[in-house]
Amino acid sequence: MTAAGFFAAAPDAALAALFVPFESAELRLPADGRALFLRARAGVRLREMAQPGWLCEQGFMPFADELARNGLRVGEPADGEVFPLVLVLPPRQRDEARALFARALLHTAPGGTVLASMSNAEGAKSGEADLARVAGTVQHQSKHKCRVFWSTPDAAGIDQILLAEWLALDAPRAIVDGYFSRPGLFAWDRIDRASALLAAQLPHDLHGRVADLGAGYGYLASQVVARCPGVGAIDLYEAEARALEPARLNLARAQRDCGRELAVAVHWNDVTRGLPQHYDAIVSNPPFHQGRADLPELGRAFITSAAEALLPDGRLLIVANRHLPYEAILAAHFRDVRTLATQEGFKVIEATGVRG
C-alpha cells in the first residue's frame, strides 16, 4: 500500500447520495458549469459529474492530493466569489458543520443552491435542521442510509444574525490552560491524555532541531518549548490545514511564556510521504485510525518517516495505545527501543540508534 493509500479509503455513502437529486431531476447542474465543493472527496461519481468549472476545497492534505490526482481543481474560493451551486459534505462535529453551512451560503450566488449530504448515523437530521435554521426552506431525499438536503434561499430567507454567529464558530478559541483550538480538530476541546503522558516523559536534554509529527493544534510542540531549554528550533507537521492557525498561536504563546525565541515553522504536510530535512529529535502522537476503523499502518508510516529524517544520533519519542504493535517496526529502524511509561492504556516509547 502506498503512503497516500493509508488515507484513500473509499468515500462513504454520503458522497454517492450527494448526487441523487440530479439523478431524480430534482436539481439541475448549473448552466455555466461552475460549482464549489466544500470538504470534497474524490470518487467515481464525482469524476463523472464534475465539470472544468468546479472548484474542490479540502483541508486534509491526503484527501486534497487524491482529488488532484483525479484531475479535479483543488483550492479555495476568493473572498466574495459566488457559485450557482455549492456542495457540502458536512462533518460530524456540529460547530464545525454549522460554520461550514454559513460559509457555503456566503459563496452561493443569488438564486443558487446549497446541497449537502450526511450519513444518518453521523447526524443527518440535525444537519438538515441546522441548514433550515440559517437558510430557510430545505428539501431532502434519502438514499444509501444517508440524507441529502438542499436549499435555494433568497436573501430575505437567510438569518443574517445566525449566519454571522455560525461563521465565528470556526475561529480559533481558547480551550484549557490557555491553548487555542477550533472545533473538529483531534481532541479539539481538551488536552489529549496520550499527548499529556508523552509531554510528562520528555527528556529535559532534548536539543537542537526537533519535529512534531501530526502536531494538531500544537500542544505537544508547546510542551517541548516549555520543558526542553536546549531546543533551538521546532517544526510542526500537520495534514489538517485548519490546525495550522491555532498551532501558530500556541507556539507564539509558548515562546513568550518561556522568555526565549526559537526558530518555529508550521507545515501543512502529509508526513507519511517523508520529511524535507533532518532532526536531532522527533516527537509524535501518531494517528492510528481513519474514521472509526483502526489503521495502525498510519502509525507505522509515521515511524518510518521519522527514522529516515533523524540524524544518526537522533531519538524518537512516541506515544500510542498499548495494543498497537509498533515494537517490530521500531526495532527494524532503531537499535535501542525502550518503553518509558505505561498509563491509562497508553505507552510512551523512546527509540535511538537509527539503523543505516
Q: Where are the domains of the chain?
A: 4-168, 173-354
How many CA atoms does the CB half-sphere of 116 hold within 13 Å?
Answer: 36
Average pLDDT, integer, range 90-99: 97
Predicted pLDDT of residue 348:
98
Report which of 59, 56, 61 is spatially closest to residue 71, judged by C-alpha positions: 56
pLDDT(4) > 50:
no
Examine domains 4-168 and 173-354 and report if their fold is the same.
Answer: yes
349: Cα separation from own chain's centroid: 25
pTM of the model: 0.93
As a whole number of angstroms, the distance between CA 72 and CA 53 comes to 10
Under a CB-based contact definition with an 8 Å cutoff, are residues 4 and 62 in contact? yes
Cell of residue 87, nine digits? 456542495
Angle 303-308-311 (CA atoms, 0-180°, nearest 5)? 110
Q: How many residues are recorded in the chain? A: 356
Confidence category of residue 290, pLDDT binned at 50, 70, 90:
low
Over residues 320-348, the pLDDT tens digits come to 999 998 999 999 999 999 999 999 999 99
Task: Give the chain's mean pLDDT.
Answer: 94
pLDDT(125) > 90:
yes
Predicted pLDDT of residue 297:
87
Residue 350 amino acid letter: E
The 3-state DSSP class for residue 183 equals: coil
Long-range contacts formed by 77-82: CB under 8 A, 24+ apart? 77/36, 77/107, 81/107, 82/107, 82/108, 82/109, 82/110, 82/112
Under a CB-based contact definition with an 8 Å cutoff, are residues 298 and 328 in contact? no
Distances (CA, A) of 288 to 19, 125, 152, 293, 298: 31, 29, 40, 9, 6
Percent of the chain surpassing pLDDT 90: 90
Over residues 208-230, the pLDDT tens digits come to 999 999 999 999 999 999 999 99
The 3-state DSSP class for residue 187 equals: coil
As a whole number of angstroms, the distance between CA 24 and CA 150 comes to 14
Under a CB-based contact definition with an 8 Å cutoff, are residues 20 and 153 in contact? no
Over residues 143-186, the pLDDT tens digits come to 999 999 999 999 889 999 999 999 999 999 999 999 999 999 99
Report which of 233, 227, 245 is spatially closest to residue 179, judged by C-alpha positions: 245
pLDDT(6) > 70:
no
Under a CB-based contact definition with an 8 Å cutoff, are residues 41 and 15 in contact? yes
Q: Which CATH architecture has domain 4-168?
A: 3-Layer(aba) Sandwich (3.40)
**Strands 53-57 and 34-38: what pairing?**
parallel
- CATH number (3.40.50.150, 3.40.50.300, 3.30.70.1400, 1.10.10.60) of 173-354 reads 3.40.50.150
Distances (CA, A) of 34 to 56, 87, 94, 113, 119: 11, 11, 28, 12, 26
pLDDT(5) > 50:
no
Over residues 223-279, the pLDDT tens digits come to 999 999 999 999 999 999 999 999 999 999 999 999 999 999 999 999 999 999 999
Phi-psi region of 172 (alpha: psi -120 to 50; beta: other; left: phi over 0): beta
Over its C-alpha atoms, the chain yields an Rg (Å, rounded) of 22
Predicted pLDDT of residue 288:
73
pLDDT(292) > 50:
no
Regarding predicted confidence, which is higher, 200 or 324? 200
Predicted pLDDT of residue 294:
53
Over residues 8-18, the pLDDT tens digits come to 444 678 999 99
Residue 250 amino acid letter: N
Over residues 72-91, the pLDDT tens digits come to 999 999 999 999 999 999 99
Distances (CA, A) of 46 to 58, 61, 325: 14, 18, 36
